Structure 1
Amino acid sequence: MYDQLLVELRREDQRAFKNFLRMPPEMYDELVQRVGPRITKERTWYREPLDPGLKIAITLRHIASGTKYAAMKFGCRVPHNTQSLAVREVCQAIIDEYLDEAMTCPTTPEGRREISDQFMEKWNFPHTCGALDGKHVACKAPPKSGSVYYNYKGFYSIVLMALVDTDYKFLWADVGSPGASSDAQIYNESELKEMAEDGTIGFPAPDPLPNDYKDVPYVFVVDDAFGLRKHMMKPYTLRGLTDEERIFNYRLSRARRVVENAFGILANRFQILLTTMQHHPSTVKIIVKACIVLHNLMRMRYPTEMSPKEMTKK
């Protein structure tokens, strides 16, 4: 696969290359250049080590398609147990190499206000510093775990809790909580809540909304699973809503939709997230983190690819 297929796709059909690894050749070459030294093994008298480019190709194909190791071993000529070690190693190397570059969450009022201005411009909802929500990533039941990883939807999972901006980039993420945990519980135990409550998160000082005079705080937009807090805005949940309350819920839903879209783009690019991952939760956590880092890199390098509008055309 590595010596023949990728070379042929790169030379004759770059669109197929991009579909095969979910990134263009230039991005793959950058990964080999920057991540390769982290995963290169020394040569020994016993046998030749796997080429770093092959390890990265195996990993990208695995997370892009969700294909099992047993099915991939015939194409790449690498045993399934060696693939499992390589995927974990490459994902961890991608996280170590790119995390600080790809996951850039503003910590100053100016940076938060810039995100708020983008929410106002694109989604017509002011004073919003991000959309927050959780996603269940299915995995096999860990041994002797009981119902800890069994979620309310009826399958075993870990939870990805994420804060997203208007460009569908992940600003902050908490990965690895057991599936039985609720979104509110995960948030209450996160560093994000601590920073929001002690003021170190960098929210701008409250100021008036457009065409108003009362000071209003800056917030994250969330759904009904969360509690209403000073820096967290959720929709009205009572029946018999007034027209003003319905309009508010509609506007808030538009702003909060970006986190759902980000999850959809992430899962459609790396379709292993659409399957039940046959890994231990610790490995699932590493793979999901690597997918988020690669997603942000792709959004930074190629911001117009895989938008929600494009997804509906496929």
Structure 2
Amino acid sequence: MDSDLFHELLYLNILRLQRRKVLRRRKRRWSVHPANRDRNPNGFFWKNFLKLKEDDQKLFALTRMNRPVYNLLLNIISPFLKKPKQQIGVEERVVITLMYLAYGTPFEIIASMHKLGKTTVRNIVLETCEIFWLHLCPIYLSEPTTAQYKDIAADFLKLWNIPNCVGAIDGKHIAIIRPQNSGSLFYNYKKFYSIVLMASCDARYTFTSASIGSYGGQSDGGVFQQTKFGQALLENKLPLPPRAPLWNGSSTDFPHFFVADAAFPLKENLMRPYPGAQLPRNKAIFNYRLSRARRVIENSFGILTARWRVLRKIHL
């Protein structure tokens, strides 16, 4: 068979297959489902939320935010959520997203409450979450300065009795449904599929850095070394304060450091506990003091998941 004829027949067959696929595709019966046509007066946002938000306790229960924080979020995010001729307003989009993040409510339930389609709700949540990350991250997760690291070290000494510590680091596995054709990439040592949230925090449970989306099949130490923060820390590129004595009157200067568990590498500015169970008293005391400071990041993850319960659910 002539080569050109062969390619023409192949092209025609591809067109026929695509046409059949389009014809088999289910046609939408309505542009807007009849049950959702009265969304403006009878949807949850219009009928219930606008009244309930006048009560501070109800507002917090629905959005997991108090009024000043809720208003601040709207002021920051509103310019980036506005669209020409949009049918769903900025505040309604934010409320839908916060209700999903606060409780992990399935999209079908939120859609029925707000009289919207499931796909519409899903797109709103994904788009709004991306805008949250892009515009809130530079404000609330910006890299601390040298002066701020000094303040963090002072807090660790005052609250947790460990000198020269500028943060605690750990990873948290977020359960997901295994993506198709992903093999064992997301299958972790805890025997479920996950992605990893790698983060550091200060002595007062405030996150100072975060990296999201690494494979659950990797160790925390491996994930840490792949993040920008981890690479900067290991290469001594973070603006950490200069060496300083561990206590008043000491003549030996010691570097400022982060604390982590045994899954992380031991470096000049990254401390991990001594391995083993039967340790000498001085090493056992060191492990106790280090673990006491490292517990701050575990508590921070606990506070995070208590506030945003979507992190306790299984996600696609």
Q: CA deviation at 1:28?
A: 2.4
Structure 2 counterparts to residues 96-107 of structure 1, below 5 A: 96-107=134-145
The percent of aligned pairs where both chains have the same amino acid is: 34
The aligned counterpart of 1:2 is: 45
Pick from 12, 15, 27 the counterpart of residue 69 of structure 2.
27
One-letter identity of the residue aligned with 2:284? R
Partner Cα distance (1:274, 1:101) in 2: 26
Pick from 229, 232, 242 the counterpart of residue 270 of structure 2.
232
Deviations 1:28-63 (A, max 9, x none): 2333333123122222xxxx6211111111100001
Pick from 105, 116, 119 the counterpart of residue 78 of structure 1.
116
Partner Cα distance (2:145, 2:235) in 1: 13
Q: CA deviation at 1:75?
A: 1.1
One-letter identity of the residue aligned with 2:228? E
CA contact (8 A) 1:177 1:186 kept: yes
CA contact (8 A) 1:42 1:49 kept: no
The aligned counterpart of 1:40 is: 82
Q: CA deviation at 1:256?
A: 0.6
Give the stretch that moved more between structures: 23-32 or 155-164. Answer: 23-32
Give the stretch that moved more between structures: 235-244 or 142-151. Answer: 235-244
1:119 aligns with 2:162: no
Q: CA deviation at 1:209?
A: 1.2
One-letter identity of the residue aligned with 2:68? E
Deviations 1:91-124 (A, max 9, x none): 111122222111132132x322221111001100
1:169 aligns with 2:206: yes
The aligned counterpart of 1:311 is: none
Instruction: Sort the Cα spacing of 1:197 and 1:32 in 2 relative to 1 into closer, same or farther, 3 A.
Output: closer
Q: CA deviation at 1:140?
A: 1.1
Give the stretch that moved more between structures: 27-36 or 229-238. Answer: 27-36
Where relative contact order (Cα < 8 A, 6+ residues apart) is larger, the structure is 1
Structure 2 counterparts to residues 159-238 of structure 1, below 5 A: 159-210=196-247, 211-238=249-276
1:132 aligns with 2:169: yes
Structure 2 SS opposite 1:3: helix
The aligned counterpart of 2:309 is: 271
What is the TM-score of this pair, normalised by structure 1?
A: 0.83
CA contact (8 A) 2:234 2:267 kept: no
Q: CA deviation at 1:173?
A: 0.9
Q: CA deviation at 1:242?
A: 2.0
The aligned counterpart of 2:132 is: 94
The aligned counterpart of 1:247 is: 285
Partner Cα distance (2:266, 2:140) in 1: 30
CA contact (8 A) 1:41 1:49 kept: no
Q: Which has the larger radius of gyration?
A: 2
One-letter identity of the residue aligned with 1:50? I
Partner Cα distance (1:29, 1:214) in 2: 49
Structure 1 SS opposite 2:300: helix
CA contact (8 A) 1:139 1:158 kept: yes
Q: How many residues align?
A: 272
Q: CA deviation at 1:207?
A: 2.3
Q: CA deviation at 1:168?
A: 1.1
Q: CA deviation at 1:261?
A: 0.7
One-letter identity of the residue aligned with 1:134? G
Unaligned 5+ residue runs, structure 1?
Answer: 280-314
Instruction: Sort the Cα spacing of 1:197 and 1:178 in 2 relative to 1 into closer, same or farther, 3 A.
Output: closer
CA contact (8 A) 2:64 2:307 kept: yes
Partner Cα distance (2:208, 2:188) in 1: 25
CA contact (8 A) 2:199 2:209 kept: yes
The aligned counterpart of 1:260 is: 298
CA contact (8 A) 2:255 2:269 kept: yes
Q: CA deviation at 1:129?
A: 0.9
Partner Cα distance (1:197, 1:146) in 2: 30
Structure 1 SS opposite 2:197: strand
